[in-house]
Copies of this chain bind each other. A is one copy, B any other.
Amino acid sequence: MKKNILIIGAGGVAQVAAVKAAMHNDVLGDINIASRTLEKCDSIIVNVLARQALKRPGLIAAHQLDAFDIEATKDLIRRTKSQIVLNAGSAFLNMSVLRACIETGAAYIDTAIHEDPSKVCETPPWYGNYEWKHRDECERKGITAVLGAGFDPGVVNAYAALAAEHYFDRIDSIDIIDVNAGSHGRYFATNFDPEINFREFTGTVWSWQNSQWTANAMFEVSRSDDLPVVGTHKTYLTGHDEVHSLSANLGVPDIRFWMGFGEHYINVFTVLKNLGLLSEQPVLTAEGQEIVPLKVVKAVLPDPASLAPDYQGKTFIGNLMKGTRQGVETEMLVYNICDHAETFAETGSQAISYTAGVPAVAAAMLIARGEWDCHRMANIEELPPVPFLSLLEGMGLPTRLRDAAGDRSFADEKLPAQKQARLGVS
């Protein structure tokens, strides 16, 4: 049982996390928010207070922090008595924040794999390059470190674990499909930090096929699916975090991630990439100034947070899984639909930030309640999925299932673990 959460970062995901943490501060205790820019933390707190989001009177405070500075982060963890630290900021920060947690005993949560600013798309499995190198140390010291606790990675890992535990004898393939069917009304924008966003698509596309890593180029392989609510969408085989842990943990031979892109997005991306403007390697201007092109692209694009007020439409994220159940070939889609305007009304952020931030707070609550306080480093599929998905039912991210028995709410299922989870929530 741990309490008091330190949220690192002050972008859209951190804003969602702060609102949701406030709505559950009876479980989480004090809420501290830290980022490089104090004013952005202050705005998040103003947003939380304006929404009267705090469930009960409690502390919510802002701190200036350079989270690359491990000693400063340790100091802040200790001063705020935070026992749970959520990195809702840049994936570049993961390793320094994890180090601060290991050295202070705090539980660690993030929502994406660590990245080195100077490298794009390292050797798979990506977790092996950074996070998993600290697995033994976490185990030895009893540190709880929950990796990739957003939606994808995060909830989709739990969907896979749920399917493996309760709906399949054997899973042959998992196709994770992520479609943003919403529209922000701008010429072009990324839905989260452009620097991280584009990095997903500039390197090799790694997928897990026939139980081995397979390399493709971005936009090389596509599929089209008629999806619930959002309709037919074309998606492209994309490298993504969750493939790198699910492939190691589930024994499923085919695990692929598919992301939806419109033609306009692909055109802009292709132009920028072919010109070299998405490069993370510095170039020299004629005047002798050294600059990373990607950072300039980031500077000219709209701030993702600024898109939220005008965002319309819905997101679809789900797992299409094939295998056998009681010896019979079966197929199941486990998914969530999230509405941009609804999440904006509730938290001030659009659905992309919402789907990443809410699960991270659910993970924090499960650590606070002890159910996920596992005293080791774990990816989401290694933790009990039912308490997580049950908690998300009431937090704005309901799960739906579709198989031969029809399309239905996960909340109406009668799994033994659900009864237990409901007791846990009450």
Contacts and interface: CB of A to CB of B under 8 A. Distances in A.
A283 B268 contact: no
Q: Which bracket fits the contact residues of A? A: 20 to 34
Contacts of A296: 277, 283, 285, 291, 293, 296
A271 B268 contact: yes
A24 interface: no
B286 A301 contact: no
Contacts of A299: 283-286, 291, 293
Which of A195, A267, A283, A286 gathers the greatest number of chain B CB atoms within 10 Å? A286
Interface of A: 187-188, 195, 267-268, 271-272, 274-277, 279, 283-287, 289, 291, 293, 295-301
A276 B295 contact: no
A120 to B, nearest CB: 16
Contacts of A274: 187-188
Identical copies of this chain, number = 2
A267 B267 CA distance: 9
B293 A276 contact: no
Contacts of A289: 291, 295
A284 to B, nearest CB: 6
Contacts of A271: 188, 267-268, 271-272
A-B pairs with the 6 shortest C-beta distances?
A276-B300, A283-B299, A271-B271, A285-B295, A187-B274, A296-B296
Contacts of A283: 296, 299-300
B295 A286 contact: yes
11 contacts: A188-B271, A271-B271, A275-B300, A275-B301, A277-B297, A277-B300, A283-B299, A285-B291, A285-B296, A291-B299, A293-B300
Contacts of A284: 299
A297 B268 contact: no
Given A271-B271, A283-B296, A287-B295, 16 more contacts: A187-B275, A195-B286, A267-B271, A268-B271, A271-B272, A272-B275, A275-B297, A275-B300, A275-B301, A277-B277, A277-B296, A277-B300, A285-B296, A285-B298, A291-B296, A293-B299
A195 B195 CA distance: 25
A299 B188 CA distance: 23
